[in-house]
């Protein structure tokens, strides 16, 4: 068995790569690592899922693995990933488990694990869990009264909605929003949260049947949302993914406002309100150069992290910063949550509109997105590319040609023998020509 944990838990085709047997073992190993040392107190885990059909099966398997290890399970049902992270802390649980493959198609599923307080696991903890999975010794299991019990809290969704309500102070009265819930975990709570804050809400993609999650809807398919916003004459549209840790937006004219633009708007809002610690935003290496230029113009520093919200979280914690995120729409507010929260992002974005009286298009215009070309290059050994003399020379030549008007990034894929070549430039043709030239250099290695 190779390394299971990716940048966001364990993910794969449900009932093929991600089996019931594996889910039981992962849950048991997570319990052994995260629920140890409770000094006689019964350890507790929060378990939630998104609505995809295989989630029912995997929920049962994870619950079985945890209870077999002597852990009591609080089964909160279908809720967003950030809700499970929040409830892990709110219920003072020893760990939390979210069963979701986020924006992936319905046949996939995943297991995300949170430590006490709702924090994502670092590499060292994941390695300890994997070491137990690779071990041959069957762990000792309790019997009789030592077996874990399962309870279903009746206040889980209400607690999360109350938490969201405390994140904004300005009513959203007068704003009309179309929200695409991706037939996912946001289907119940996102419209409720936006209505509670005062907005008029038109919900689409909010009828999950277990099979339609992310199916031509949500943050990876924005066409339907763009059309609905224009048809309804709404002020904006918000799109979530299957587990609602992402949020992308659409302005009143149907133009897409991506995660970089959302971060620009929120960074300015938090700077003006005094919430932006050290006047710093954390973004990833994939964020557009236009974000960096806009923040520089606004006097805001940008700290760059690796791709993946766990790396954004690490930088946020390291500098005690107050805002970070990704181009994909994972936005993190450490004072309100331990992971990306799409519904919270939507609330804060609309609050900025309400406070300023500005349209989303006007707010997002602070940032000009530079043309960005991404080429995936198959290679035989992705680790050998970056230091190869021919590639180093090609990168240096491209950077010299771009000067301060663009940038180059070569990044090995985390899961495949690919190198991702990214070029940004003020002109799309220049970006494409340079990207193709660099891709040829990489392919020749």
Catalytic residue chosen out of the listed positions 75, 100, 102, 322: 102
Q: What is the pLDDT along the chain (445 residues), one digit of tens a residue?
A: 457 888 778 999 999 999 999 999 999 999 999 998 777 789 999 999 999 999 999 999 999 999 999 999 999 999 999 999 999 999 999 999 999 999 999 999 999 999 999 999 988 999 999 999 888 677 789 999 999 999 999 999 999 999 999 999 999 999 999 999 999 999 999 999 999 999 999 999 999 999 999 999 999 999 999 999 999 999 999 999 999 999 999 999 999 999 999 999 999 999 999 999 999 999 998 899 999 999 999 999 999 998 888 889 999 999 999 999 999 999 999 999 999 999 999 999 999 999 999 999 999 999 999 998 999 999 888 888 888 999 999 999 999 999 888 899 898 876 678 899 999 998 899 999 999 999 999 998 8
Decide the pairing of beta strands 372-378 and 418-424: antiparallel
Angle at CA of residue 52, ends 310 and 254, nearest 5°: 70
Q: Which tokens hold the place of 124?
A: 């060292």
123 carries a ligand binding annotation = no
- Residue pair 280/302 in contact (Cβ under 8 Å)? The answer is yes
Length of the chain: 445
| Nearest partner of 51 among 161, 193, 189, 165, judged by Cα | 189
Residues 129-143: b if buried by 16+ CB within 10 A, e if exposed = bbebeeeeeeeeeee
Measured CA to CA, the distance from residue 315 to residue 282 in angstroms comes to 7
102 carries a ligand binding annotation = yes
pTM score, whole prediction: 0.91
72 carries a ligand binding annotation = no
Q: For every residue of 335-400, which 3-state class applies, written as one string?
A: CCCCCCCHHHHHHHHHHHHHHHCCCHHHHHCCCCCCCEEEEEEECCCHHHCCCCHHHHHHHHHHHH
Measured CA to CA, the distance from residue 78 to residue 44 in angstroms comes to 19
108 carries a ligand binding annotation = no
187 is catalytic: no
Rg (CA), the chain: 22
Domains of the chain: 10-155 (3.40.120.10), 169-364 (3.40.120.10), 372-443 (3.30.310.50)
């Amino acid at each position: 068995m190779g390394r299971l944990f990716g940048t966001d838990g364990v993910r794969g085709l449900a009932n093929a790569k991600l089996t019931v047997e594996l889910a039981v073992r992962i849950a048991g190993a997570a319990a052994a690592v995260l629920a140890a040392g409770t000094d006689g107190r019964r350890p507790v885990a929060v378990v939630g899922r998104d609505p995809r059909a295989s989630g029912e099966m995997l929920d049962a398997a994870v619950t079985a693995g945890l209870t077999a290890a002597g852990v009591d399970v609080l089964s909160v049902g279908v809720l967003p990933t950030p809700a499970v992270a929040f409830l892990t802390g709110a219920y003072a649980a020893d760990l939390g488990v979210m069963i979701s493959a986020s924006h992936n198609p319905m046949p996939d599923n995943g297991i995300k694990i949170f430590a006490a307080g709702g924090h994502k696991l670092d590499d060292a903890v994941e390695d300890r869990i994997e070491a137990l999975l690779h071990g041959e010794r069957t762990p000792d299991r309790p019997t009789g009264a030592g077996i874990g019990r399962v309870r279903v809290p009746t206040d889980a969704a209400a607690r999360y909605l109350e938490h969201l309500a405390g994140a904004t102070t300005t009513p959203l009265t007068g704003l009309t929003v179309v929200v695409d819930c991706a037939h996912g975990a946001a289907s119940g709570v996102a419209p409720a949260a936006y209505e509670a804050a005062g907005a008029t809400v038109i919900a689409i993609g909010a009828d999950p049947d277990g099979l339609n999650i992310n199916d031509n809807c949500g943050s990876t398919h924005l066409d339907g949302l763009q059309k609905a916003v224009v048809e309804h004459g709404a002020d904006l549209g918000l799109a979530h993914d299957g587990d609602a840790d992402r949020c992308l937006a659409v302005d009143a004219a149907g133009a897409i406002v991506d995660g970089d633009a959302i971060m620009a708007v929120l960074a300015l809002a938090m700077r003006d309100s005094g919430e932006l610690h050290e006047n710093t935003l954390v973004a990833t290496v994939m964020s557009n150069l236009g974000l960096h230029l806009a923040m520089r113009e606004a006097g805001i520093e940008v700290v760059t992290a690796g791709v993946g919200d766990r790396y954004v979280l690490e930088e946020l914690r390291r500098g005690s910063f107050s805002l970070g995120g990704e181009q994909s729409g994972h936005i993190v507010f450490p004072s309100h949550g331990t992971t990306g929260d799409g519904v919270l992002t939507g609330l804060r974005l609309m609050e900025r509109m309400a406070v300023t009286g500005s349209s989303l298009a006007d707010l997002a215009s602070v940032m000009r997105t530079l043309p960005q070309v991404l080429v995936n290059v198959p290679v035989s050994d992705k680790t050998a590319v970056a230091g190869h003399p021919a590639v180093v020379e090609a990168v240096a030549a491209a950077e010299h040609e771009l000067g301060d008007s663009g940038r180059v990034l070569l990044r090995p894929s985390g899961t495949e023998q690919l190198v991702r070549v990214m070029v940004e430039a003020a002109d799309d043709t220049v970006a494409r020509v340079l990207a193709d030239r660099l891709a040829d250099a990489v392919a020749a290695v």
